[in-house]
Structure 1
Amino acid sequence: MLIQNTLIALVAYISQLDERYLGASMMNRPIIIGPIVGLILGDLQKGTLIGAALEAMFIGIVTIGAALPPDVGVASTIATALAIQSGASTNVAVTLAMPFAVVAQGLNMLAFTLNSYTIKKGRDAIKKHHLASMQRWQFFPLILRLPSGILTFLVLQLGTTAAQSLISLLPTKLMTSFSVAAGLLPAVGFAMLIQMMINKKIAPYFFIGFILTSYLKMPVIGVSVLALLFALLIVQNSTQNKIKE
């Protein structure tokens, strides 16, 4: 268990480097983290299911500019691992994720605050032409991301037994409320995503897709293929109009 928790903590740490140090590798997304944690714990299927459920909930949470959203990477790592180790359901994992996301967000805020000092020191080193010093300050932020990995390790090392005991003591009504909350949270995630991207030009296509799936019972794959055809027609018409002009 110690080795597994260490590997999972390493996954949480690597998720902190995504978009900042490793490019947009998507390593911090639940759909990627869930299967990896499941593979480490020997339950790839459950890890994949939990990762997909968490991705649906967090799909609208993305880093834009200087905004610092809740940390979905650490939250997904901890929630998936706790659910698998304690034998809890996917619904419990979804409910547990948000509190850990907020805690990890606080650690990220601390890291960014301290990082402003390292940036200043790095700039001073550049002005003085101290290349070696500049390189050291360049990699110092990697150390500032360690608390997220440490948090993950401590929660898993100390909290698995407690989580198992707590889940076994929870009444049926409370577990039912977890299931209801887990069903609502993905809808909130999609609503956040739609709120960012919806406009007058896109709205008609959104409602066409809604009508096709809800009333005409068209499978998602069929709607996706139809959407691709719509996109191709729009691009072709746009190209032809430019040629005529």
Structure 2
Amino acid sequence: MGQKTSWPCSTKWWQILLLTLYAGYQILDELTIVSSAGSPVFAGLIAGLIMGDLQTGLFIGGSLQLTVLGVGTFGGASRIDANSGTVLATAFSVALKMDPLLAISTIAVPVAALMVQTDVLGRFTTTYFAHRIDKHVEDFNYKGIEVNYLLGALPWALSRALPVFLALTFGAGAVQSAVDFLETSLPWLTKGLTVAGGALPGVGFAILLRYLPVKKHFPYLIGGFVLTALLTTLFGYTSTLGTAVAGLSEDFTTKFNGLSILGIALIGFAIASLHYKKLIETPKVVAAVNPNDVEEIEDDEI
């Protein structure tokens, strides 16, 4: 019997196929359906399920989601493709047993930045079908409009699916060599990149706060930070105490969970709802406005 073909880094052929299909679909979902399936955290969920390590996938996806939290596009501008970066970082992290933080800094971020070029290529090639649609509009050819609209989705899908497929199929050896070199010859650089990967979500928050009206709602920012810090400390101490008691008594089976992100989100939602209700119930005072006066836009409200 002949030898079985082994795919790079224990990545099965069906895993490569599914990850490639999802990479092509996620950009179409982001552009049309907008079901959140085209987001880094969802990409981490899908990639984690396919690779058999949901925790790593969600960690990398969540970190990339926070990293691009304040990044957006305006008009036809391109931005870094954190979704494809999440897919590849999760796949290689699980297959090579890499530290997820190291995978974020060495794979996810560089890939996300490089994919800007394929995004531009995808936008450029779709103009061919756009011109064909314009021609069919003039001829009232509705069938031609539908066909070319659907064909225009192919360049978008390929702009993500093709790079992901090539990287998963042929790039695993290069990634493995780079990881081995970093861990053996440059351990100081590995530690630095790991720290950088952990700091990236903070960068995303900083970008987001830069564009939010923080000056106007500064009390809410302080209150949310203090409340989260207090609850996190309280839940952390309670969980530690429960673990200590469980170690002393076998009859103690109660489990104490940590502070849920959902709980924090609900607290924030409640405060935001109260603030919104107060705004709509407050009677608006109409004042005479000089036409020559121009209201100044604060820098954090642009």
TM-score of the superposition, structure 1-length normalised?
0.88
Code of the aligned partner of 1:133: G
Q: Which has the higher contact order (CA 8 A, sep 6+)?
A: 1
> Partners in 2 of 1:38 and 1:233 — Cα distance?
38
> Partners in 2 of 1:11 and 1:62 — Cα distance?
22
Contact 1:53 1:90 in 2 (8 A): no
Code of the aligned partner of 2:217: I
Q: 1:232 to 1:141 in 2, by over 3 A?
A: same
Q: Which position in structure 1 is the counterpart of 2:250? A: none
Q: Secondary structure at the match of 1:20?
A: helix
| Cα distance, 1:243 vs structure 2 | 10
Structure 1 gap ranges (5+): none
Q: How does 1:114-125 map to 2 (within 5 A)?
A: 114-125=125-136
> Partners in 2 of 1:99 and 1:116 — Cα distance?
28
1:134 aligns with 2:145: yes
Q: 1:230 to 1:38 in 2, by over 3 A?
A: closer
Code of the aligned partner of 2:25: I
Q: Secondary structure at the match of 1:81?
A: helix
| Cα distance, 1:67 vs structure 2 | 2.7
1:51 aligns with 2:92: no
Q: Which position in structure 1 is the counterpart of 2:181? A: 169
- 2:90 equivalent among 59, 74, 80: 80
Identity %: 28
Q: Secondary structure at the match of 1:19?
A: helix
Code of the aligned partner of 1:17: L
| Cα distance, 1:26 vs structure 2 | 1.4
Code of the aligned partner of 2:66: A
Structure 2 gap ranges (5+): 1-11, 233-258, 287-302
Code of the aligned partner of 2:44: G
Q: CA RMSD for the aligned pairs?
A: 2.3
Q: Which position in structure 2 is the counterpart of 1:179? A: 194
Q: Which position in structure 2 is the counterpart of 1:14? A: 25
Contact 2:93 2:103 in 1 (8 A): yes
Contact 2:79 2:116 in 1 (8 A): yes
Q: Which position in structure 1 is the counterpart of 2:274? A: 233
Code of the aligned partner of 1:51: G
Larger Rg: 2
> Partners in 1 of 2:166 and 2:30 — Cα distance?
25
Contact 2:45 2:61 in 1 (8 A): yes
The superposition leaves residues 62-116 of structure 1 with CA deviations (integer Å, 9 ceiling, x where unpaired) of: 3344332111111111111111111111112211212111221111111112222
- The count of residues paired between Structure 1 and Structure 2 equals 242
Contact 1:87 1:164 in 2 (8 A): no
The superposition leaves residues 34-88 of structure 1 with CA deviations (integer Å, 9 ceiling, x where unpaired) of: 1211111111222122222222222222334433211111111111111111111
Q: Which position in structure 1 is the counterpart of 2:70? A: 60
Code of the aligned partner of 1:107: T
